[in-house]
């Protein structure tokens, strides 16, 4: 595996600036991937500084950098707090998350993330995960499928696509990316077939990996372990994810209001643990938008622990 081809990091300078790195500090990159962000973060650390890199994917672990100031943690980032307890770290100075899948996932045909390759319908970021896209397509009700396609894929024709899937699976297994594409393609707009197909795949991937749920858990746990003045830097690629991050920073999300460590309620008003550094969401520069297509849907939010 060539680490240079794994993934081109998105908004690298903006993320680095957002972390506001102290050379002796402790930092966490929750989405190591090809290490694009981690390799830059570590350049700013002294011999006393330390970086923890999380990724649930075995491929990311295989390519992880070696450095005395770096520790790779192969785990879902929802467990960030437990892992830091395990390493005896009470507070950290900055946490970065660059959400979603890497280019490696999409380019590695056998993982089933992309309709560009015919492969088993898998889509698990964690190869040891119990649920694959094939299970979801085979077992979810038509209504559940329609909801996933609507909310995670933002597809207007979600009901028709779900109905086509159920009709096809009654005749035989939908086991490969190619079979799924064949079943849903007639339901997609002729002029936007590829875009909509990508949205069908995206919706299933989000469900397979429980991405919205783990994001909420991670935000609450990450906020708890930030030191005062510590930075939370989160990059999203989906409007629902961005809304979750924005609401978390404002202290508006119900799930995180329940976390007494992160936010506490006073007379019905939320006292937030975070202060937004950027009032408006940050997007990639015009140069990056031209050179790195993945940056087009990226939205960056930076907050500081009070
Ligand atoms: C967009 S890529 C990160 C790319 C990285 N910043 C770089 O420049 O190389 C996201 C990575 O996070 C990992 N990931 C996504 N969700 C995760 C989760 N809940 N727990 C752990 N790793 C996760 C994926 O496996 C993927 O490798």
- For ligand 1, the distance from its centroid to the CA atom of residue 8, given in whole angstroms, is 12
- For ligand 1, the distance from its centroid to the CA atom of residue 269, given in whole angstroms, is 34
Residue 256 pLDDT > 70: no
Mean pLDDT of 38-65: 97
Residue 268 pLDDT > 70: no
How confident is residue 252, by pLDDT bands cut at 50, 70 and 90?
confident
Question: Which of 234, 219, 228, 178 lies closest to 201 in space, CA to CA?
Answer: 178
Mean pLDDT of 87-98: 98
- For ligand 1, the distance from its centroid to the CA atom of residue 35, given in whole angstroms, is 9
Spatial contact of 228 and 191, defined as CB atoms under 8 Å apart:
no
CATH of domain 3-103+212-305: 3.40.50.150
Token digits of residue 82: 């437990």
Q: Tell whether ligand 1 has an atom less than 6 A from the beta carbon of residue 60.
A: yes
- What pLDDT does 298 receive? 98
* Cβ atoms < 10 Å from Cβ of 286: 8
- Give the percent of the chain with pLDDT over 70: 92
Q: Tell whether ligand 1 has an atom less than 6 A from the beta carbon of residue 36.
A: yes
Contacts of the segment 260-265: beta carbons below 8 A, 24+ positions apart:
261/220, 261/223, 261/224, 262/220, 262/223, 262/224
pTM: 0.93
Question: Which of 195, 9, 1, 205 lies closest to 102 in space, CA to CA?
Answer: 9
Q: Tell whether ligand 1 has an atom less than 6 A from the beta carbon of residue 35.
A: yes
262 vs 71, residue with greater confidence: 71
Q: What is the mean pLDDT of the chain?
A: 93
How confident is residue 259, by pLDDT bands cut at 50, 70 and 90?
very low
Residue 302 pLDDT > 90: yes
Q: Tell whether ligand 1 has an atom less than 6 A from the beta carbon of residue 53.
A: no
CATH 1.10.150.170 occupies which residues in the chain? Answer: 127-208
Token digits of residue 2: 């060539």
CATH 3.40.50.150 occupies which residues in the chain? Answer: 3-103+212-305
> Which of the four CATH numbers 1.10.150.170, 1.10.8.10, 3.30.70.20, 3.30.930.10 does domain 127-208 have?
1.10.150.170
Mean pLDDT of 194-214: 96
């Amino acid at each position: 595996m060539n680490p240079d081809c794994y993934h081109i990091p998105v908004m690298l300078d903006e993320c680095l600036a957002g972390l506001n790195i102290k050379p002796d500090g402790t930092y966490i990159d929750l989405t190591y991937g090809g290490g694009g962000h981690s390799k830059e973060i570590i350049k700013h650390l002294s011999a006393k500084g330390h970086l923890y890199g999380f990724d649930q994917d075995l491929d990311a672990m295989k390519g992880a950098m070696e450095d005395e100031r770096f520790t790779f943690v192969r785990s879902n980032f929802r467990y960030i707090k437990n892992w830091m307890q395990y390493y005896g770290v009470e507070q950290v100075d900055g946490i970065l998350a660059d959400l979603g899948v890497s280019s490696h996932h999409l380019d590695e045909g056998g993982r089933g993330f992309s309709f560009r390759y015919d492969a088993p319908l898998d889509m698990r970021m964690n190869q040891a995960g119990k649920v694959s896209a094939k299970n979801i397509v085979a077992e979810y009700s038509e209504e559940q499928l329609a909801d996933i396609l609507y909310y995670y894929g933002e597809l207007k024709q979600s009901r028709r696509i779900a109905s086509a899937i159920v009709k096809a699976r009654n005749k035989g297994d939908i086991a490969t990316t190619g079979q799924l594409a064949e079943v849903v393609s007639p339901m997609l707009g002729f002029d936007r077939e590829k875009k909509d197909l990508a949205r069908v795949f995206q919706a299933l991937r989000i469900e397979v990996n429980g991405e919205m749920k783990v994001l909420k858990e991670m935000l609450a746990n990450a906020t708890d372990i930030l030191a005062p003045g510590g930075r939370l830097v989160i990059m999203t690629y989906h409007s629902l994810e961005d809304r979750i991050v924005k609401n978390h920073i404002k202290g508006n999300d119900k799930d995180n209001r329940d976390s007494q460590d992160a936010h506490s309620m006073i007379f019905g008003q939320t006292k937030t643990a975070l202060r937004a550094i950027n009032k408006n969401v940050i997007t990639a520069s015009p140069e990056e938008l031209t050179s790195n297509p993945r940056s087009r849907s990226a939205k960056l939010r930076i907050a500081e622990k009070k």
